């Protein structure tokens, strides 16, 4: 790397101009503190301020606990664990009732959570990473790479998702939870990739991107600092959307018996209830209701957090946050 | 990830979008051709994919069919040549030929409408599916139209009454409705409307004892289709209305609306020709997504309501391991979606004067 | 001296078409009422052109909207607005019901908005806009369309083509003129125009003003022209009212206001505007900023910025004083002193004699453009298959040298390729053919590794910097200023300690006037004003000690009073950093101010070609090319008795650069064009008048001796023009 062709003489004039300015040198500890404050503490507080995100975060946190701590606390159920088809809220032993062969429904629900979370994480992260990569590369580079990627994306976009998943599931019969997750988002990334591409196309026309380019900043800097932060709210919102998509699709396919039964999960619970005609009898309604409510709850949590994502990355909100920290007396002045 | 990006070195600014060409017709035509070409290519890729899945998967469809034809004892009483001829009859693939010939043969049969033979029904796949297709199109088409009409009306009213109690409660309901998977709605409909209150039939397309095209027959068709349609409408409701609401609010703040009002235009014209038209146009994108979703959703709904459309046969095929029927249904659904998308894409240019071909998503 | 309270009118009420008394516009907010128009009273005379001048946020748009009772909710209007109809009846505008108001607007008073770009329904043809307006007011459609055709032709548009177009197919200047035609469709008596030309090129602005004058006379209109640009409106108006902090501060005939304005604010406004005549040293920006509606200063609202302010101004609100002239009133205690205390710069005009400032340019050029061409292919076809691509000749065969400490101003209308030329010069745009050399090395050869030179591309890249036009997008919105400025230093001078780095940044920020620097560094871009953002952008460009900075319309988006300040700062930084500037502008006055002060040059560009280039003062005072003359005409001067000459153009709109005209590209609009110009294109050559300035070059046959075929060919008449219906 050669140094710029500025003469040392000019540097001297500059330095003489700025004498008398001695900002304090930051220690490593200061830097770590600043980092933690700016990247962890303040985003969290910004999200926490909004009631929707607060509720959403609490719901999601609840599910994470259910998936990690839950199986250790709740006993794994077995056949003849309780009476057959006992409705919910009848006994303390089986608060959510039992199924046809005496499984405790609460235990089934809790023990299904780890696999569900693994599947959701696998699918959502796969889709978002692929979409961001394809969209950014395609939008920023242009030319032949763009053409190939766009054609690929368009084809993936045009194939109807669920039928494709069903065909692939019928043939490959995947069992590992995160593989199921990836299968469920096998072409769901395409729409996001296309949206990201067109946003990148717009952002790279922005003057500040051109300014970074003019300063010969490396591409990694431009992408990391100038382009991605603008997309982050959008990407994270879509991460939540994808998570919802994975949950809905997986439950649908387990429910319909397309995916091979492995460990218990919410879709299989629904399937068993369905197989036993729970959808034709009101007195068996609780059997289906439990997984449905669980799915609805996690979905609401994801939607609420997605809505709050925008705020974390909005510089206006962040600036207001900084100011309210400095002058905590005047919160509503901006 | 960054390392990968850094390796891409072709970095030059394509600046200077200073000029705008006036002639657009050429571009338009090119774009149409390009769009149709792309659609055909997509179908081609899907058919090739189906060939690869059938032929190349070890332990996959071909082996499964061979095992089925050999029967349970697997002793090989059937001679190899006859076996292969049977495979060819079912799958349009002769395992004795070299791979590329199998490919050519398979592709040419599919593109001439021969999807092979269904093992489960022992009828040509094409015959089964063509008979089922109109029913799927009928149900899903109506569902799609209804969804859009309701979404547009709802979203526009919410925007006009922004901040009112109606707006807030509808926004809340929309979020709830997007939180519930559509098939849950279908199950609940079945439980209450069919089994508990017995208002609608729980399955099949029509009362088979009636003569076709009589009044009773038509009523029976509608009666049977009601629940599937209602459940499908649920898929797109909510999120679509919220999008329409956002669009309308944006248009309501535009200068041209203010100028139109100053010019004394009647409110009706402003609502329809100004707000309505300009807010609905961006909905086209979500219409495209909805087309895919609706056909995808059809697969699940038809199974739940045992409504023998294309999606239903897809399920039958999965359960019966009838791979030719499976692939046929998949290809047919893909073609239907692709055709819908092309039509939507091409008509968009007619509705929005600003679309210069393919511009609806990139330059919006 | 008579002191009249609240009403400034001395004319008899028969002449008055609109009377306003104590009109206020206010917004109810949580923290109280915010008045964005504060008890103003003003009479508008029949068939006058009244200019209303004020900075952005002074309440001038609110006044315009109030006249039609069209203030957008939740704003409310109070007071009296009386409209005196030609038949003698009087309409109380604020008490009209919905239906009456609907008829009143557009039939009696119509309005042209600031955002012409967005004033048309994008999904409706222009014709539809005309027809629906006629129908809504129960006018005969056929007759109305005839009138529309007539009106469109008078604003130099091709009626048939325009009527069948969609809004997005028209340029900004065309849309603005269509909007004017549409506003006159129902034959109103009053036309209110709210910053109608703000977003347009100067030449287009000026052309529209000229058309407006014709229309006003032809249709006996009363025109209310609202703008922030005092010189622009001075030429057009009969009277001018100056608005400051939601109240009128001075009203009077335009000649009075220009010569004997007696409010310190008006005089400051006059001095803040760069013009072609004013001596460069006499222009000065107004200090401070205009007040916020929630926080208007007590007493005279101008006192914090006023050099004449005393105790009385702080404590007491001044009434209106009538000056010697009947119709000229000022809201200032010190109106008599203002004239002597604040001299007007344009009174000291120097005309004719050009002062050439000696620059400090080097002998060797930093940048050399050699036969530079940039063509854009508009190729949307698939894989180039059905290829029918169109070529846009953005920049065509340009030769130029740029020296150290040089300033080159490139002037032209939007779409003439000046930005492309600028970007090609600093290697942000790869030329189609020709070379850009940096100190003798072909930059693109260095980049592609084809050059023998030991100079690295990276070093060249950093030596050529840019400041963009739009302050809104020039800084990354997600980063604090400090990070934006720190990153390049971190990357390129990694051995610099954090302390040194920051002290350099703070020092620079302080120098460009952003104090306290440490506080500014912690802000996000949205917490800065447009001018402040541009200063940060300037600071960023300077971080790498660049040799050339391209300033792409860098001051155009700023308020008039801030432009001079920004340009001064850039020039003083040139002295410190030995930087050259390429300054792109559509405004000849700004170009002159910037280039003229250090002996720089001005290049005039038209459709991708340089048609005239020379030392700034020389080009301004002694323009040779008809296009330069037109641009000079378009630069408004502080001159009340404006010459009533015809529009010096045969066509207002710039031709399509996809198919540039043959011969001299300007011949379709040039008032001097002859048949020769259609066939042959003139070369850029030194001027012939023997004034000894070799650097002054022009590409026009007019400059050729009498035996040139041009002089014997026929004058072109406007046959490809829409004919004026007289």
Comparing CB atoms, the residue among A2, A10, A15 nearest residue C459 is: A2
Of the pLDDT bands very low, low, confident and very high (cuts 50, 70, 90), residue C129 is very high
Of A313-317, C273-277, C332-336, C433-437, the poorest mean pLDDT is in C273-277
Residues B140-182 have pLDDT tens digits of 889 888 988 898 999 889 888 887 888 888 888 887 777 778 7
Tokens standing for C652? 């207002």
Q: Are residues B104 and B149 in the same domain?
A: no
Give the distance from residue A274's alpha carbon to the nearest chain B alpha carbon, in angstroms: 9
Q: Of B84, B110, B136, which residue constitutes the final position of a domain? A: B110
Rounded to 5 degrees, φ, ψ at C715 are -65, 135
Please, is B191 exposed, middle or buried when counting C-beta atoms within 10 Å of its C-beta (0-12, 13-18, 19+)? Answer: buried
Do the Cβ atoms of A201 and B330 come within 8 Å? no
Residue B119 lies in a domain: no
Q: What's the pTM value of the predicted model, to 2 decimals?
A: 0.78
Of C186-195, C671-680, C684-693, the poorest mean pLDDT is in C684-693
Q: How many domains does chain A divide into?
A: 1
Q: Say yes or no to pLDDT of B240 above 70.
A: yes
Torsion of CA B281, B286, B291, B295, to 10 degrees: -160
Comparing CB atoms, the residue among A136, A142, A166 nearest residue B14 is: A142
Residue A188 lies in a domain: yes
Residue C335 lies in a domain: no
Q: Are residues B192 and B58 in the same domain?
A: no
Do the Cβ atoms of A164 and B330 come within 8 Å? yes
Give the distance from residue A267's alpha carbon to the nearest chain B alpha carbon, in angstroms: 11
Touching C: B residues 276-335, CB under 8 Å: 277-278, 281
Comparing CB atoms, the residue among B38, B46, B326 nearest residue A159 is: B46
Give partners of A (≥3 CB pairs < 8 A). Answer: B, C
> Which DSSP string do the residues of B43-99 spell out, in sequence order?
HHHHHHHHHHHHHHSTTSHHHHHHHHHH-TT----S-HHHHHHHHHHHHS--TTS-H
Residues A252-264 have pLDDT tens digits of 888 888 888 777 7
Do the Cβ atoms of B187 and A213 come within 8 Å? no
Do the Cβ atoms of C121 and B256 come within 8 Å? yes
Q: Domain range spanning residue A271?
A: 42-333
Of the pLDDT bands very low, low, confident and very high (cuts 50, 70, 90), residue C726 is very low
Residue C5 lies in a domain: no
Residue B172 lies in a domain: yes
Do the Cβ atoms of C415 and B18 come within 8 Å? yes
Give the distance from residue C199's alpha carbon to the nearest chain B alpha carbon, in angstroms: 15
Residues of C in contact with B30 (CB under 8 A): 380-382, 385-386, 388
Residue C58 lies in a domain: no
Length of chain B as a residue count = 364
With CA atoms as reference, the chain A residue closest to B295 would be A160
Comparing CB atoms, the residue among A143, A170, A195 nearest residue B318 is: A170
Q: Are residues B187 and B320 in the same domain?
A: yes
Closest of A283, A250, A269 to residue A112, by C-alpha? A269
Q: Check if the beta carbon of residue C303 is closer than 8 Å to that of residue C312.
A: no
Touching A: B residues 231-290, CB under 8 Å: 289
C21 reaches A (C-beta below 8 A): no
Residues C486-545 have pLDDT tens digits of 999 999 988 888 888 899 899 999 888 888 888 889 888 888 888 889 999 999 999 888
For residue C717, count other CB atoms closer than 10 A to its CB. 9
CA–CA distance, A328 with C53 (Å, rounded to integer):
41
B34 reaches C (C-beta below 8 A): yes
SS3 state of residue C421? helix
Q: Say yes or no to pLDDT of C638 above 60.
A: no
**ipTM metric:** 0.78
Residue A30 lies in a domain: no
Residue C376 lies in a domain: yes
Residue B219 lies in a domain: yes
For residue B359, count other CB atoms closer than 10 A to its CB. 16
CA–CA distance, C650 with C670 (Å, rounded to integer):
6
Strand-by-strand arrangement of the C390-403 sheet: C390-403, C365-378, C433-438, C441-442
Residues of A in contact with B7 (CB under 8 A): none
CA–CA distance, A214 with C474 (Å, rounded to integer):
12
Average pLDDT over chain C, rounded to an integer: 82
Disruptive mutation site among C99, C123, C176 for chain B (greatest number of B CBs within 10 Å):
C123
SS3 state of residue C497? coil
Give the distance from residue B131's alpha carbon to the nearest chain A alpha carbon, in angstroms: 19
With CA atoms as reference, the chain C residue closest to A318 would be C524
Closest of A190, A75, A65, A73 to residue A117, by C-alpha? A65
Q: Domain range spanning residue B46?
A: 2-110
Residue C234 lies in a domain: no
Residue that wins the pLDDT comparison between B113 and A38: B113
Residue C686 lies in a domain: yes
Q: How many domains does chain C divide into?
A: 1
Residue that wins the pLDDT comparison between C421 and A2: C421
Tokens standing for B325? 């029927």
Question: In A, what residues contact C, Cβ < 8 A?
Answer: 1-7, 10-11, 13-15, 17-18, 21-26, 206-208, 210-218, 221, 225-226, 229-230, 313, 315-316, 318-319, 322
The domain that holds A114 is classified in CATH as 1.10.3720.10
Q: Check if the beta carbon of residue C658 is closer than 8 Å to that of residue B19.
A: yes
Closest of C209, C166, C159, C164 to residue C185, by C-alpha? C159
| Cβ contacts from B onto C, under 8 A | 123
Residues of C in contact with B277 (CB under 8 A): 121, 123
pLDDT at B355: 65
With CA atoms as reference, the chain A residue closest to C501 would be A23
Give the distance from residue B117's alpha carbon to the nearest chain C alpha carbon, in angstroms: 39
Residue B120 lies in a domain: no
Percentage of residues in chain C with pLDDT exceeding 90? 22
Q: Check if the beta carbon of residue B158 is closer than 8 Å to that of residue B245.
A: yes
Q: Say yes or no to pLDDT of C185 above 90.
A: yes
3-state helix, strand, coil in chain C (%, to 5): 35, 20, 45
With CA atoms as reference, the chain C residue closest to A25 would be C499
Average pLDDT over chain A, rounded to an integer: 81
Residues B248-262 have pLDDT tens digits of 888 888 889 888 989
C377 reaches A (C-beta below 8 A): no
Q: Of B50, B75, B110, which residue constitutes the final position of a domain? A: B110
B225 reaches A (C-beta below 8 A): no
Comparing CB atoms, the residue among A14, A208, A318 nearest residue C476 is: A208
Touching A: C residues 445-504, CB under 8 Å: 455-456, 458-459, 461-466, 468-470, 473-479, 484, 487-488, 491-493, 497-499, 502-504
Length of chain C as a residue count = 726
Residues B16-68 have pLDDT tens digits of 332 333 333 444 456 778 888 888 998 999 999 888 887 766 666 677 777 77
With CA atoms as reference, the chain A residue closest to B320 would be A170
Do the Cβ atoms of B303 and A167 come within 8 Å? no
Average pLDDT (B192-214) is 79
Residue C359 lies in a domain: no
Please, is C281 exposed, middle or buried when counting C-beta atoms within 10 Å of its C-beta (0-12, 13-18, 19+)? Answer: exposed
Residue B318 lies in a domain: yes
B37 reaches A (C-beta below 8 A): no
Q: What is the DSSP letter of C666?
A: G
Give the distance from residue A87's alpha carbon to the nearest chain B alpha carbon, in angstroms: 17
Of the pLDDT bands very low, low, confident and very high (cuts 50, 70, 90), residue B6 is very low
Q: Are residues B137 and B105 in the same domain?
A: no
Q: Domain range spanning residue C432?
A: 365-478+524-712
The domain that holds C662 is classified in CATH as 3.40.50.300
Q: How far is CA C69 from the centre of its chain?
A: 29
Residue B264 lies in a domain: yes
With CA atoms as reference, the chain C residue closest to A31 would be C498
Tokens standing for A209? 């991107």
Do the Cβ atoms of A158 and B338 come within 8 Å? yes
What are the residues whose beta carbons fall under 8 Å from the beta carbon of C627, sequence distance 6 or more? C604, C606, C611, C612, C666, C670
Residue C274 lies in a domain: no
Number of helical (H) and strand (E) elements in chain B, helices listed first: 17, 0
Q: Check if the beta carbon of residue C158 is closer than 8 Å to that of residue C178.
A: no
Q: Are residues B292 and B345 in the same domain?
A: yes
pLDDT at B208: 74
CA–CA distance, C290 with B14 (Å, rounded to integer):
40
Average pLDDT over chain B, rounded to an integer: 77
Of the pLDDT bands very low, low, confident and very high (cuts 50, 70, 90), residue B235 is low
Torsion of CA C484, C486, C487, C493, to 10 degrees: 150
CA–CA distance, C126 with B263 (Å, rounded to integer):
14
Comparing CB atoms, the residue among C475, C498, C544 nearest residue A26 is: C498
Residues of A in contact with C477 (CB under 8 A): 230, 315
CA–CA distance, C423 with C34 (Å, rounded to integer):
45
Give the distance from residue B10's alpha carbon to the nearest chain A alpha carbon, in angstroms: 7
Do the Cβ atoms of C459 and A315 come within 8 Å? no
SS3 state of residue C42? strand
Q: Are residues B49 and B164 in the same domain?
A: no
With CA atoms as reference, the chain C residue closest to B26 would be C388
Give the distance from residue C233's alpha carbon to the nearest chain B alpha carbon, in angstroms: 24
Residue B342 lies in a domain: yes
Disruptive mutation site among B15, B53, B171, B184 for chain A (greatest number of A CBs within 10 Å):
B184
What are the residues whose beta carbons fall under 8 Å from the beta carbon of C53, sequence distance 6 or more? C60, C227, C228, C229, C230, C233, C240, C241, C242, C243, C269
The domain that holds B201 is classified in CATH as 1.10.3720.10
Q: Say yes or no to pLDDT of A11 above 80.
A: no
Q: How many domains does chain B divide into?
A: 2
Give the distance from residue A320's alpha carbon to the nearest chain C alpha carbon, in angstroms: 10
Residues of B in contact with A201 (CB under 8 A): 362
Task: Give one word for C113, left, alpha or beta, with left for phi > 0 and alpha for psi -120 to 50.
Answer: beta
């Amino acid at each position: 790397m050669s140094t710029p062709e500025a003469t040392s003489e000019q540097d001297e004039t500059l330095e003489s101009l700025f004498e008398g300015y001695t900002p304090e040198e930051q220690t490593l500890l200061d830097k770590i503190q600043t980092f933690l404050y700016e990247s962890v503490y303040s985003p969290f507080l910004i999200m926490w301020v909004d009631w929707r995100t607060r509720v959403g975060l609490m719901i999601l946190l609840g599910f994470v606990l259910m998936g990690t701590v839950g199986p250790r606390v709740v006993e794994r159920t077995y056949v003849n664990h309780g009476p057959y088809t006992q409705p919910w809220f009848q006994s303390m032993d089986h608060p959510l009732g039992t199924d046809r062969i005496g499984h405790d429904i609460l235990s089934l629900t809790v023990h299904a959570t780890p696999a569900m979370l693994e599947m959701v994480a696998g699918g959502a992260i796969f889709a978002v990473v692929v979409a961001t990569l394809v969209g950014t590369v395609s939008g920023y580079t242009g030319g032949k790479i763009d053409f190939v990627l766009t054609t690929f994306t368009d084809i993936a976009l045009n194939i109807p998702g669920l039928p494709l998943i069903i065909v692939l599931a019928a043939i490959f019969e995947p069992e590992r939870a995160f593989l199921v997750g990836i299968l469920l988002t096998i072409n769901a990334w395409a729409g996001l990739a296309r949206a990201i591409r067109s946003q990148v196309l717009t952002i790279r026309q922005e003057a500040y991107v051109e300014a970074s380019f003019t300063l010969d900043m490396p591409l990694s800097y431009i992408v990391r600092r100038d382009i991605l932060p603008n997309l982050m709210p959008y990407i994270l919102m879509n991460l939540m959307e994808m998570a919802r998509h994975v949950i809905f699709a997986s439950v649908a396919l387990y429910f319909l018996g397309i995916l091979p039964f492995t460990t218990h999960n919410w879709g299989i619970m629904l399937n068993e209830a369905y197989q036993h005609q729970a959808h034709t009898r009101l007195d068996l309604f609780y059997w289906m209701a439990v997984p449905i409510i669980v799915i609805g709850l996690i979905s609401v949590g994801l939607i609420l957090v997605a809505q709050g994502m925008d705020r974390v990355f909005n510089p206006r909100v962040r600036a207001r946050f900084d100011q309210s920290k400095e002058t905590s007396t005047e919160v509503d002045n901006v | 990830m960054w390392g990968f990006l850094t390796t891409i070195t072709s970095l030059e600014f394509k600046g200077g979008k200073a000029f705008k060409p006036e002639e657009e017709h050429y571009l338009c035509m090119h774009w149409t051709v390009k769009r149709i070409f792309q659609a055909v290519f997509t179908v081609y890729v899907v058919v090739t994919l189906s060939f690869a899945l059938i032929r190349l998967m070890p332990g996959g469809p071909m082996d499964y069919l061979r095992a089925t034809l050999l029967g349970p004892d697997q002793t090989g009483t059937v001679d190899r040549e006859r076996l292969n001829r049977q495979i060819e009859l079912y799958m349009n693939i002769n395992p004795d030929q070299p791979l590329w010939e199998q490919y050519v043969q398979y592709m040419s049969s599919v593109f001439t409408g021969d999807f092979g033979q269904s093992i489960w029904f022992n009828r040509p796949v094409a015959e089964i599916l063509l008979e089922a297709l109109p029913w799927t199109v009928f149900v899903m088409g109506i569902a799609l139209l209804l969804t859009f009409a309701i979404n547009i009306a709802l979203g526009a009213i919410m925007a006009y009454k922004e901040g009112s109690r109606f707006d807030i409660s509808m926004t809340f309901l929309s979020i709830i409705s997007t939180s519930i998977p559509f098939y849950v709605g279908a199950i609940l409909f079945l439980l209450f409307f069919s089994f508990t209150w017995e208002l609608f039939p729980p399955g099949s397309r029509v009362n088979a004892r009636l003569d076709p095209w009589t009044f009773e027959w038509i009523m029976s068709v509608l009666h049977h289709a009601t629940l599937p349609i209602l459940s499908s409408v649920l898929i797109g409701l909510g999120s679509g209305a919220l999008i329409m609401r956002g669009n309308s609010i944006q248009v309501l703040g535009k200068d041209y609306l203010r100028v139109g009002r100053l010019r004394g235009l009647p409110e009706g014209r402003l609502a329809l020709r100004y707000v309505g038209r300009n807010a609905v146009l961006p909905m086209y994108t979500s219409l495209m997504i909805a087309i895919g979703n609706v056909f995808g959703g059809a697969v699940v709904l038809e199974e739940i309501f045992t409504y023998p459309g294309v999606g239903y046969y897809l399920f039958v095929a999965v359960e019966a391991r009838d791979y030719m029927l499976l692939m046929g249904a998949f290809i047919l659904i893909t073609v239907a979606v692709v055709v819908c998308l092309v039509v939507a894409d091409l008509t968009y240019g007619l509705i929005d004067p600003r679309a210069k071909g393919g511009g609806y998503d990139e330059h919006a | 001296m008579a002191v009249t309270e609240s009403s400034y009118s001395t004319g008899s009420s028969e002449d008055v078409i609109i009377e306003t008394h104590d009109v206020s516009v206010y917004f109810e907010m949580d923290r109280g009422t915010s008045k964005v128009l504060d008890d103003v009273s003003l009479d508008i005379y029949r068939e006058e052109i009244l200019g209303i001048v004020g900075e952005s946020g002074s309440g001038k748009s609110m006044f315009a909207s109030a006249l039609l009772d069209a203030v957008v909710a939740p704003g409310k209007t109070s007071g009296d607005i009386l409209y005196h109809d030609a038949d003698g009846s009087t309409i109380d505008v604020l008490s009209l019901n919905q239906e009456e108001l609907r008829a009143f607007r557009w039939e009696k008073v119509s309005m042209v908005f600031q955002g012409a770009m967005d004033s048309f329904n994008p999904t409706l043809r222009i014709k539809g806009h005309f027809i629906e307006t006629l129908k809504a007011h129960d006018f005969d459609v056929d007759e109305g369309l005839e009138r529309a055709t007539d009106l469109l032709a008078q604003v130099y548009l091709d009626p048939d083509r325009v009527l069948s177009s969609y809004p997005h197919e028209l340029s900004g200047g065309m849309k603005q003129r269509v909007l004017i035609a549409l506003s006159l469709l129902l034959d109103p008596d009053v036309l209110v125009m709210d910053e109608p030309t703000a977003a347009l090129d100067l030449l287009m602005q000026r052309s529209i003003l000229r058309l407006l004058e014709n229309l006003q006379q032809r249709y006996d209109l009363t025109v209310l022209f609202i703008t922030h640009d005092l010189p622009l409106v001075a030429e057009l108006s009969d009277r001018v009212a100056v608005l400051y902090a939601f109240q009128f501060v001075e009203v009077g005939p335009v000649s009075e206001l220009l010569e004997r304005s007696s409010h310190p604010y008006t005089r400051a406004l006059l001095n803040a505007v760069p013009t072609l005549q004013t001596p460069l040293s006499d222009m000065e920006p107004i200090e401070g900023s205009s007040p916020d509606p929630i926080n208007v200063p007590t007493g005279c609202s101008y006192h914090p910025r006023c050099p004449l302010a005393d105790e009385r101004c702080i404590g007491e609100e001044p009434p209106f004083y009538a000056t010697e002239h009947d119709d000229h009133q000022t809201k200032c205690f010190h109106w008599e002193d203002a004239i002597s205390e604040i001299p007007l710069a344009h009174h000291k005009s120097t005309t004719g004699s050009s002062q050439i400032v000696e620059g400090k340019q080097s002998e060797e050029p930093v940048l050399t453009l050699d036969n530079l061409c940039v063509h854009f292919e508009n190729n949307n076809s698939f894989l180039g298959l059905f290829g029918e691509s169109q070529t846009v000749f953005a920049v065509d065969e340009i030769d130029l040298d740029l020296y150290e400490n040089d300033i080159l101003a490139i002037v032209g209308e939007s779409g003439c390729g000046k930005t492309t030329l600028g970007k090609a010069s600093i290697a942000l745009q790869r030329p189609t053919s020709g070379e850009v050399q940096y100190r003798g090395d072909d930059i693109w050869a260095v980049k592609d590794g084809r050059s023998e030179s030991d100079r690295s591309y990276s070093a060249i890249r950093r030596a050529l910097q840019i400041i963009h036009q739009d302050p809104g997008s020039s800084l990354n919105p997600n980063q604090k200023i400090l990070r934006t400025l720190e990153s390049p230093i971190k990357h390129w001078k990694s051995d610099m300690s954090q302390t040194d780095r920051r002290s350099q940044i703070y020092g620079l920020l302080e120098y460009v006037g952003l104090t306290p620097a440490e506080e500014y560094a912690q802000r996000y871009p949205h917490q800065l004003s447009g001018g402040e953002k541009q200063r940060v952008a300037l600071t960023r460009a300077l971080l790498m000690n660049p040799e050339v900075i391209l300033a792409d319309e860098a001051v155009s988006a700023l308020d008039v009073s801030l432009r001079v300040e920004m340009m001064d700062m850039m020039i003083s930084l040139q002295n410190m950093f030995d930087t050259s500037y390429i300054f792109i502008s559509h405004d000849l006055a700004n170009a002159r101010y910037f280039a003229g002060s250090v002996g720089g040059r001005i290049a005039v560009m038209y459709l991708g070609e340089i048609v005239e280039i020379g030392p700034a003062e020389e080009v301004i005072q002694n323009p040779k090319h008809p296009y330069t003359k037109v641009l000079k005409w378009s630069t408004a001067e502080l001159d009340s008795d404006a010459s009533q000459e015809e529009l010096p153009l045969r066509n207002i709109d710039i031709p399509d650069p996809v198919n540039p005209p043959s011969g001299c590209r300007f011949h379709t609009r040039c008032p001097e064009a002859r048949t020769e110009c259609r066939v042959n294109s003139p070369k850029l050559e030194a001027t012939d008048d023997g004034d000894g300035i070799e650097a002054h070059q022009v590409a026009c046959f007019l400059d050729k001796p009498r035996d040139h075929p041009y002089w014997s060919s026929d004058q072109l008449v406007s046959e490809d023009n829409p004919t004026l219906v007289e």
